[in-house]
Structures are given as structure tokens and as C-alpha cells.
Chains A and B, each alone.
Chain A
Amino acid sequence: MVQLREQSEAAEFFPSDVEYQGLLSKRSRRGRVVQLSFLLMLTIAVVGLGILLYTIIDDSFGLVAVVNQNEPEAVVSAYGYDPAVTVLDDLNKEQLVDVLQGSVSSGVGRRLEREERFFADRLVFESQAKWDEVCASDEPPSGCSGGVRSKGNVLDLVRERVIQPDIVAVNRLTASIFNPDGFKEEVETAFVENPSRFGEYTYDQVRYQWRAWFSWKFVTSPASDRPEIAGVRTAVLGSIWLVIITVLFAVPVGVGAAIYLEEFARPTRINDLIQTNINNLAGVPSIIYGMLGLAVLVRILEPFTSGSLFGEGAPNGRTIMSAGLTLGLLTLPVVIISSQEAIRAVPSSLRQAGMGLGATKWQTVRSQVLPVAIPGILTGTILAVARAIGETAPLILVGAASFITVSPSGPFSQFTALPIQIFQWTSFPQEEWRHLAAAASLVLLVLLLTLNAAAVIMRNRFSRRMS
């Protein structure tokens, strides 16, 4: 080892060589221990998040036991096919429409046809005269605009309305993969021990099939009181609308306020007070924002939030506008604070350079400070908005509807949102709903990831343009 020079008087205060070696190994040991414990903490975090994701996915797919109101085999053999060879999917569109026509009431059939026609060249449920009359009315139904149902669409209708599977038992993904027979035995035992639970069904009616609760159909179907066909379209659209309003409100206001506070505000007592309050607001529980939204946005500002000021609208202020602004207010402090931090991190030498060339303050901020700060501003904003998407409490207070099947048509619509839907489904006793809630959580996660990815791409664009 290198000999420490013993020249200065202070040398006696340092450990001897032998002592030093001992200390040195102790120091590096301590470093390793600390490093290991940090690794442990990281592991805990990763495992925790992993378990969370696992349970959601585990519930989103799996085996289900169903009892069909009409067996697909019976439908197929009614057409003279051998059910052992031919399945429902093999029927052509005409046959499927035919099946549908034979099973659903003419009222339902007409409704389906007005939604979207079955054939371009002929009507199935509606008479031509009536159809022309309906389509000539002030508000022609969507079927009049010319779209035609695909075979897949009709097949779905047949499954939904003719086969009408009734789910009697559900199983999780891992259990379904590794122990499908266990599930079947369980169902069978349940039928033996507690037949009343299944009403009129008998065990030999039970069919097992795989079900993806999380599917494109789930995302695009409206809410329903039947778990077999319930979807989250309304909630997804509601959440997307909320994000739009939240971002449109919180980003300009938040970034503007941050620019003012960082670049223009003099350190007066009032500005200090404002700053302190903003910092504190970031910690206020979301339900308080909900109460504020209810009192101010829903009630006092009802003419605005219900849209009646603009001549359209909802019967009351419980609209996307109210909820979006509430979430906007909720995210505002975080947007301001993170934007301030991003702006503060821009080296002051850039401001001096700009001002030194005879630029005004705003020209300097606009062209030199903001471009450098924007990646940081976006990072903070993404996090804040991501939090807002998952907020439930304030939405309940400002009156998200728990069950609507009509997609929101604009900022002044009644709405529901994904977290509300999840919250509601988890509160139902039947197990199916828990799987739907898991699938909806997955949709929420995907929505979040999509938004984050979009924002990250935007941020990288900016950073790349900078360098």
C-alpha cells in the first residue's frame, strides 16, 4: 500500500497504516451493505408492482362455466349440418341472420336493423315503406347512413341473443391453465351440493370455455347489467374526455402560472404567500377538490357546466366539464410546481445571453428558457395527469353516473369514467363482476401507458430538436 507521508503535524491525527487497512475494509463493507439494502428495496418495489399486475391479469382471462339458452350444436343441426363437423362460425351470414330472425322479437330486430342494416340490398325486419319514413325523419337512426353489418358482427349478435350464454362459474387464469379439472370438479360439486344456487340449470347443461374478459369487444361494448356482454366503452370515452378537459385546463394555466412565478414575479410577500399556498394545495386530498367541484362547478356555475349557456346540454351541472375542471384544479398545483422546477433548472446563463442581446424578458423566456424547460415540464405534467385519470373520489362527488350506456357526446354530457366503473363493479357480489373490474383496470392501465407513451414521444421530439 502507498505509504502516507508523515510530514505535517496533523499526520498524528490520522490512523496508522494498520488501522487504516482495517477502517478501509470496514468502510467498503458498509458501502456494500447499503448498496444491497437499496437493491432489496428496489426488489420490494418491483415485486409489489409485479404482484399487482399479476392479479389484474390473472382475473382478466380464464375458464368460465356457461349454460347456453340455445346450444350452438342445436342451431347448426337445424340447418342440416353435423354438429361434430360444423360449428356456428361456419354458417354464412344469410344463415346467421336467419337464425337471428327466428329467435329475437320483431321489435328487437327492428332496433338492430335501425342501428345498422344487415344487408345492403334488402331489409330483414323492417318494411321498405316504414324504413323510408324513418330515414326521412329529422333524426334518422344510424342504420340509414348506409353501413352494413359484417358476418362477425352478426355472429356476435347470434351468440349474444340466441345462444345467450349464462355464466355460472368463473376461474382465474393461472388456475385455469394449471388445474382446469379442479375447476370442473368444483363446479360439479357445487351443482351436487347446492343445486338451488343454479336455479333450473343442471350440470349436464354446463359447458366450459375460455373467456378473455379483457378484449377489444369489451373495450367497445357499452355498459350492461349482464356481465356476459358488459363493456367499458362509455367509461373509456368518459375518461378520454376527462383527460382532454383536464389537460386543456391544467397545462396552459399551470405552465403560465409557473412562468409568471419563476420569471416575472418579484419576491414580494404576496407572491411568497401564493407560492406557499400552491405547495400546500399539492397535498390536499382529492376528495376536497371533489367537494369544491360540487359546490362551485356543479352548483354555482351550473349554467356554464351544464352547457345551457351555450344552448345545449345536460339537465344539471354533473357533466364532463365539471369533472374535467375539478380534475384540472386537482392537477394544477403539481403542474405548476413541476413546471417551476423545470424552468428553474434552465441555466441562468441562457437568460443573460438572451437579455444581453437586447431581447425582452418574454422573448428570452419564449425562445431560450421554455424550449429547454419543456421536456421537464412535460414529465411533471404526464405524472400529474396520469394521477388524475385514476382519481375516483372527486368524480363520485361531482356526480359521475354509475350506470349509463350512452356514449358521451361532448363536454356537456353526463358521463362515467373507468375508475368509477371499476369501483362499481368491485362492489357487486357476483364473481363475474370482479373479473370485469380486473379487465377494466387493465384497460385503464393501457390507456395510461398510451397517454404516457404519447407524451414521452412528444418530449423526446422536443429534446431532440434542442440538441
Chain B
Amino acid sequence: MNETPESTVLDPTAAPATADAVGGVEAADDGPGVLETRSMDVFYGDFKAVADVSMSFTFNEISALIGPSGCGKSTVLRSLNRMNDLIPTARVDGEVRYHGTNIYAGDVDPVEIRRRIGMVFQKPNPFPKSIFDNIAWGAKINGFKGSKSDMKDLVQGALEQAALWDEVKDKLTESGLSLSGGQQQRLCIARAIAVQPDVILMDEPCSALDPIATLRIEELMLELKENYSIIIVTHNMQQAARVSDRTAFFNVELDTTGQRTGHLVEFSPTDVLFTTPKEKATEDYITGRFG
């Protein structure tokens, strides 16, 4: 795989419009997106977990995915960077377009996709290595060519962006596991940033954290959206309302064969979705929870 961003098909530096022009992809209804799904179905074996998801995520925005448990939020999120490939039974139908390229096309290497579209998980999962190595490793395996001091700068930069530098700058050689839960999650965010992605997926990144740590991560997300597109799954509607620009509501329904298949109900600007939802189901869900 070619490491120089200029020459790859998946060019995150290109403006979305250009990318669409190059890829020959027509813009979706709601404008050109860095990442788009088109009639995406995801299966686990024979079980259809989500059906017919079409949505477009925009640059420098935070999009939130909300919905009841089991409606397929994590499934959709994992499909966006092919993390679902790690589940042997998982299968995706339809398209996911990243800068116009269908990431499920035969000639696309999922390894490259995951480098461009990073992921932060529900439970903080730092490597059992030093804080420094936690961040440096991703760069190394992706062919980082800089000197030792370049690497130090990279690590420092990532930690600063993740608002962790001041807390760990004196103990970079200590294990990542020695940090508190909230610090570990920020370390995971720093680790994701360090490989220079342009989209970051976060699956309930705060659900294992206390309210103060949660607040720090939320502030961090707001800072990060200057440079990245962020898609976050959350079960916490206040969180979605606080941080996201646009919110997607997923619901799950029994289909005719008795399967519980999730689907996208609506995807609107966050203030619209929480004040004047288009769909009855959305309104029920948000009022039910808020009330």
C-alpha cells in the first residue's frame, strides 16, 4: 500500500467536492460527504442487523448516532471503516463511499481504510505498553519515516491535541494502563489521531467514564472537529445534543419474519432533531427519555 497521501485513491486532503468530481460520484441530497452510505444492509450470518441505511457525513462536523440498544448503531459505525471484517459472520451489502470510493470494492484494502478512518472504542483499550509507544506504534506500522525527534514531536502533538500532554509529559515511559479511565480514553484518542486519519469513529467513548472525564472528552471532541470529521455513537441524548452538529436516530422494528432489524429513522441537524423531529418515532424516543 502506498503511504504518500498524494498518490492514494483515498485522498483525505482533497476537498470533498474535488473528490466527488474525481471519483465521478454524484452528491447525495444533503450535500457532498466525506463518508456516505448508500442502501447499506449489514448482516451477521443470516441475521439482518440493519437495513437500508443511506446517510452522508460532512467534513468538520460531529455526527451523533442515537437510538435504543440493539438497533445497530455500533454495527453501522463498524461498517464505516470495515472493522466489521473482524467479525467472521459479518457482511455488508450496498455501498460505503469514502471520498467517492466504495470502500467495499474488491480492490480496496481495509487496512488503508482503517488508517484513514480511525476508531475509538467504548472501553478504553490502550496497549500494555508505554504511553509513548501507545502513540508511536501506529505511526511506525504505517511507515513513519521521520527521525527520532520527529517521532517525539508527533507523540507530543497527538497528546496535546488529545488534551493529555500536560498530565503525562513526565511519565511517557510508564504503562498506558497506569492512567485513569478518562486519561486512557484520551490516550486512545491521541493514538488514533497520531496516524493522521481524517475521520474518527467513536463508539460510546464515554460510557465507561465518570461525568468529569466525560465532559473533558466532549470538550476534546469539539476541539477536534476543527481538523477531523467525527462520528460518535452515544446512548446519552444530552451528550448528542451537547456536542453534535447532526444527529441520526436509529430504531429497531420487528420485521415480517420476526427479526429485529435496525433502520435509520431520520438524520437531521441536531437542533432540528431535538426540537422539531420529522418522525413520530423520533419524537417518542426523545421525549420518552427526556421526560
State whether these chains interact. yes
What sequence of 0s and 1s flags, for each residue 346-372 of chain A, a beta carbon within 8 Å of any chain B beta carbon? 010111111111111001000110011
Instruction: Give chain B residues whose Cβ lies under 8 Å from the Cβ of A350.
Output: 125, 127-128
Interface: B11 (CB within 8 A): no
Tell me the bound Cα distance from A357 to B135 in angstroms: 10
Interface: B22 (CB within 8 A): no
Among A353, A360, A371, A467, the residue within 8 A (CB) of B125 is: A353
Instruction: Give chain B residues whose Cβ lies under 8 Å from the Cβ of A267.
Output: 88
Counting chain A residues whose Cβ lies within 8 A of the other chain, the interface size class is 20 to 34
Instruction: Give chain B residues whose Cβ lies under 8 Å from the Cβ of A371.
Output: 128
Among A349, A354, A357, A466, the residue within 8 A (CB) of B118 is: A357
Q: Which of B146-154, B187-195, B229-237 interfaces with chain A?
A: B187-195
Instruction: Give chain A residues whose Cβ lies under 8 Å from the Cβ of B175.
Output: 467
User: Is the CB–CB distance between B121 and A356 below 8 Å?
Assistant: yes
Interface: B225 (CB within 8 A): no
Q: How far is the CB of A402 from chain B (nearest CB, A)?
A: 51
Tell me the bound Cα distance from A238 to B116 in angstroms: 56
Instruction: Give chain B residues whose Cβ lies under 8 Å from the Cβ of A29.
Output: none
Tell me the bound Cα distance from A355 to B110 in angstroms: 9
Q: Which of B91-99, B137-145, B263-271 interfaces with chain A?
A: B137-145
Q: How far is the CB of A364 from chain B (nearest CB, A)?
A: 8
Cβ < 8 Å to B, chain A residues 35-59: none
Instruction: Give chain B residues whose Cβ lies under 8 Å from the Cβ of A26.
Output: none
Chain A contact residues, majority secondary structure: helix
User: Is the CB–CB distance between B128 and A467 below 8 Å?
Assistant: yes
Interface size for B (C-beta < 8 A) is: 28
User: Is the CB–CB distance between B83 and A356 below 8 Å?
Assistant: yes
Interface: A387 (CB within 8 A): no
Closest to B125 in A: A349
Interface: B19 (CB within 8 A): no
Instruction: How many A-B residue pairs have C-beta atoms within 8 angstroms? Tell me.
Output: 69
Interface: B86 (CB within 8 A): yes
User: Is the CB–CB distance between A351 and B86 below 8 Å?
Assistant: yes
Among B121, B137, B188, the residue within 8 A (CB) of A367 is: B137
Interface: A111 (CB within 8 A): no
Interface: A32 (CB within 8 A): no
What sequence of 0s and 1s flags, for each residue 246-267 of chain A, a beta carbon within 8 Å of any chain B beta carbon? 0000000000000000000011
Cβ < 8 Å to A, chain B residues 46-100: 81, 83, 86, 88
User: Is the CB–CB distance between A352 and B83 below 8 Å?
Assistant: yes
User: Is the CB–CB distance between A359 and B138 below 8 Å?
Assistant: yes
Q: How far is the CB of A201 from chain B (nearest CB, A)?
A: 70
What sequence of 0s and 1s flags, for each residue 81-95 of chain A, a beta carbon within 8 Å of any chain B beta carbon? 000000000000000
Tell me the bound Cα distance from A358 to B83 in angstroms: 10
Tell me the bound Cα distance from A316 to B86 in angstroms: 51
Instruction: Give chain A residues whose Cβ lies under 8 Å from the Cβ of B83.
Output: 352, 355-356
User: Is the CB–CB distance between B114 and A266 below 8 Å?
Assistant: no
Among B114, B123, B128, B177, the residue within 8 A (CB) of A357 is: B114
Instruction: Give chain A residues whose Cβ lies under 8 Å from the Cβ of B188.
Output: 353
Closest to B124 in A: A349
Interface: B218 (CB within 8 A): no
Instruction: Give chain B residues whose Cβ lies under 8 Å from the Cβ of A355.
Output: 83, 86, 114
User: Is the CB–CB distance between A352 and B125 below 8 Å?
Assistant: yes
Chain A contacts to B: CB under 8 angstroms: 266-267, 347, 349-360, 363, 367-368, 371-372, 466-467
User: Please, could you name 29 A-B residue pairs with CB atoms under 8 Å apart, sorted by A?
Assistant: A267-B88, A347-B125, A349-B125, A352-B119, A353-B121, A353-B126, A353-B188, A355-B86, A356-B83, A356-B114, A356-B119, A357-B114, A357-B118, A357-B141, A357-B142, A357-B191, A357-B192, A358-B114, A358-B115, A358-B118, A359-B142, A360-B111, A367-B137, A367-B141, A368-B127, A371-B128, A372-B128, A467-B128, A467-B175
Chain B contacts to A: CB under 8 angstroms: 81, 83, 86, 88, 111-112, 114-116, 118-119, 121, 123, 125-129, 137-138, 141-142, 175, 177, 188, 191-192, 195
